[in-house]
Structure 1
């Protein structure tokens, strides 16, 4: 039996004029990093790679500038806009893997932080797809330094964390799930090292800064004195190295492409000549007929800050009709108004009232349908706003305390009763504290099911408690908890799962691990 022929992609030509072939199957296993300054031909290279490989492998492009949407016209890529929530993007990504559709995630309408969150949600959906849909896929990320920055910038730490985590998963753990990361960056020095280090194939283009040239030379195994060569590369010329390209550094000239980007390099053209200085003055200072349409803002309106929302709520005070507060009936509307009486001081809430208000805010958050799939930072900000609306004074809950309270509330555990000296829940809470913070709520949900002797939660229900839709992730979570000896899993004679809590006489009833997520949920009764 003869071995199956390899699938190769023609990137362009070598110095001797022979084709520069890229082994596509090897690329799927070893990933690719492309580096080049603006104008080096980096986007042209990515376009050539995607055009040549489109008939052979599914593709997903994370496109921060909307340059690759033109692939849809010729190669059938579906353009995914970002006028959607993060949960919607996760579901779309799962369907992309299920139906093997090539897509372009167009992020040009979003600012930097929104781009990071949207890309993280979409990559998370690709990564968390069920094992049955782990088909090979090229995941191309242009301007990767935006999504995996080396250092914190103007975006929030939470946005950077989720984006960097998604990129790290793509490059380090994506291979087993069929995901082959192809990342491109203008600045190697701005790209997180743990992301760049996972690539085994490299295409290095024109670079001018010493620090970027030194990193490029190190990745290619070249001596530092040879790094100067990167300054002399022409646009569209790259140095290739890697198991899918060449075992030794090899110059490559990228070939032509069939589609074009919507943005092009600037070209010089003659200046228009106005009839007179007065005409030029009118062109600048007089509005045109179609100006409103031509200059309509393309970006969505910014999200109001918490301070703006609170100020708006404070202004929303009912108008007092005439004759109220001592104003005589028939007083003219334009008559001088007496000085308003000072607002009465808001009485401070008692400890019980404050606790009840916090509990009510937690119940409202948990009652929202998408609460399980929103990030903890978003839920925390929502919680703080709700507490301020209820005039909850004093020191607010810290983020770790809120995460713990939310996990306990989601599991339907009475915290005051659990922290009592004779309560068996104290041991369970201590076991939860030994787990990573994002797993504690899932463990407490399972423990509550065991305490109530309810059927064992299915994989879908465990995933939902974790904030995911991947049954595979649920199975990995349970395996991790069993390794940490906080649960014990076994199957009965019918293949139904039973979970027990070690050291306690708590055990779930048998349950089908493959059952869909049910509508039942524990009653949330948070208390401090």
Structure 2
């Protein structure tokens, strides 16, 4: 079956068509400077072919997410790890779902890593899922640069390798690459050379015009043609288009991008007095402000923030530890007294960082002042209580699952005493579906001001199989607690 895609009209008004089956076998390169109508062309092609073939779009600016409303594309926001994106890409191919990988908001390095992970997973899928699919990569010069830039060499190598696989070897796996670029000179030659179909739009730089003319088989003097094209006009050539170069005018589209070209509009009228009042009057809390990073939290803020949960049953529930309880005091009464003494002890911000020996002396004095207590807890018990109190997890939240929380306490008991509170702090965040604690929060729970110590603690627990640390594509940390089967939400380490 032959399916023709209606791109628009030719010079004399005839319909401009593209053979979709031939496109799947021969790939397409679109080139045009900013404002030439390149994204409009891609949108027209996607809309016309949506009923016939699966579409997978690598979208660095979030322009094509609007296809989801009319054509049902799945929007994949790059917010997880590279492994998450690879898993999603495999499912996209298995279930033949059209999808848009939205890379908006990521820097260039992370965009390249995310695109590489997604494309490689599409490419490496098992043979039984090699269904035909159009893979559209907008701003391809970002993902297959001709030369290194400000991104890391590793990210460039991964992204360039994935793009090369798509254009050179993707056909046998059912992947038909459609790449669009503003600058042919910035696009890697081995990626551009694999395309057999071309749509060349308005171009002004001599080096780009010369490369476009070479790809179309035009003489150098004919390269000036690209400078005179109107917006939305493209020179078409290729087995899926025309055997000789033809100029086509792209037709209208049904959907629109979230971003659009700027339109002129008159400035508001105001006199000088109003302008001074508008700009220089004191600000109010409800006025919009520039997005700035919040100031770092102080130790007191961290302790206050973390003081809302507690370990309800430190030893896991049914059995209680054997303790030398005070005569006349129940276990619950004794626990409440100790909790009050420790809370008062740690009210001083500096107490979180004092040696255990110094804190234990102060603790003994406070226990003697508390006349209800006849027996002061030993150093071993004090270390256990202090580790939990420093982390601020001596009370669990009501929303947390009690069974899982008790299990977290049992797992924490397998760690050194001074690390138990750190593990419980991570468990509290994971079970409560909250962001991963920052380095300073973890360090404070351990009793130090050093963020590097927090990184060491995570490494120590990861090496011993208690947890797995990963960073998402935005640099946020995600901690998975393996024994509990839960993970924290992404959180900035800083």
The whole-number CA distance in structure 1 between the counterparts of 2:463 and 2:145 is 32
Query: Post-superposition shift, 1:278?
Result: 2.9
- The 3 A distance-change label for structure 1 pair 154 and 321 is same
The whole-number CA distance in structure 2 between the counterparts of 1:12 and 1:50 is 13
- The 3 A distance-change label for structure 1 pair 324 and 119 is same
RMSD: 3.4
2:184 and 2:208 in contact (8 A); partners too: yes
Q: Which 5+ residue runs of structure 2 have no aligned equivalent?
A: 296-349, 363-457, 476-494
Q: Which residue of 2 aligns with 1:105?
A: 101
The whole-number CA distance in structure 2 between the counterparts of 1:231 and 1:370 is 55
The whole-number CA distance in structure 2 between the counterparts of 1:82 and 1:52 is 27
- Structure 1, residues 351-410: CA drift from partner, whole Å, max 9, x if none? xxxxxxxxx9799569598799999xx9xxxxxxxxxxxxxxxxxxxxxxxxxxxxxxxx
Q: Which residue of 1 aligns with 2:143?
A: 147
Which of 274, 277, 284 pairs up with 2:279? 284
- Structure 1, residues 314-338: CA drift from partner, whole Å, max 9, x if none? xx9962379969xx9xxxxxxxxxx
SS in 2 for 1:246: coil
SS in 1 for 2:245: strand
Q: Which residue of 1 aligns with 2:372?
A: none
Number of equivalenced pairs: 325
The whole-number CA distance in structure 1 between the counterparts of 2:285 and 2:273 is 19
Which of 261, 266, 270 pairs up with 1:270? 266
- The 3 A distance-change label for structure 1 pair 269 and 367 is same
- Structure 1, residues 241-281: CA drift from partner, whole Å, max 9, x if none? 1000011111111000001111111111100112x323222
- The 3 A distance-change label for structure 1 pair 366 and 10 is farther
Query: Post-superposition shift, 1:237?
Result: 0.2
- 4+ aligned runs moved over 6 Å, structure 1: 360-363, 368-375
Aligned pairs (5 A) from 1:227-246: 227-246=223-242
1:87 aligns with 2:121: no
- The 3 A distance-change label for structure 1 pair 369 and 22 is farther
Query: Post-superposition shift, 1:78?
Result: 1.0
Q: Which residue of 1 aligns with 2:354?
A: 320
1:197 aligns with 2:193: yes
The whole-number CA distance in structure 1 between the counterparts of 2:122 and 2:217 is 33
- Structure 1, residues 158-210: CA drift from partner, whole Å, max 9, x if none? 01010111111111111111100000000000001111011010000000000
- Structure 1, residues 409-432: CA drift from partner, whole Å, max 9, x if none? xxxxxxxxxxxxxxxxxxxxxxxx
1:109 and 1:300 in contact (8 A); partners too: no
2:112 and 2:156 in contact (8 A); partners too: yes
SS in 2 for 1:257: coil
- The 3 A distance-change label for structure 1 pair 237 and 277 is same
1:20 and 1:252 in contact (8 A); partners too: yes
- The 3 A distance-change label for structure 1 pair 87 and 79 is same
1:42 aligns with 2:38: yes
- The 3 A distance-change label for structure 1 pair 374 and 66 is closer
The whole-number CA distance in structure 1 between the counterparts of 2:463 and 2:219 is 57
- The 3 A distance-change label for structure 1 pair 289 and 97 is same
Aligned pairs (5 A) from 1:105-144: 105-144=101-140
Q: Which residue of 2 aligns with 1:60?
A: 56
- The 3 A distance-change label for structure 1 pair 81 and 47 is same
TM-score (norm 1): 0.57
Larger radius of gyration: 2
Q: Which residue of 1 aligns with 2:441?
A: none
Q: Which residue of 2 aligns with 1:253?
A: 249
Query: Post-superposition shift, 1:47?
Result: 0.1
Aligned pairs (5 A) from 1:142-221: 142-221=138-217
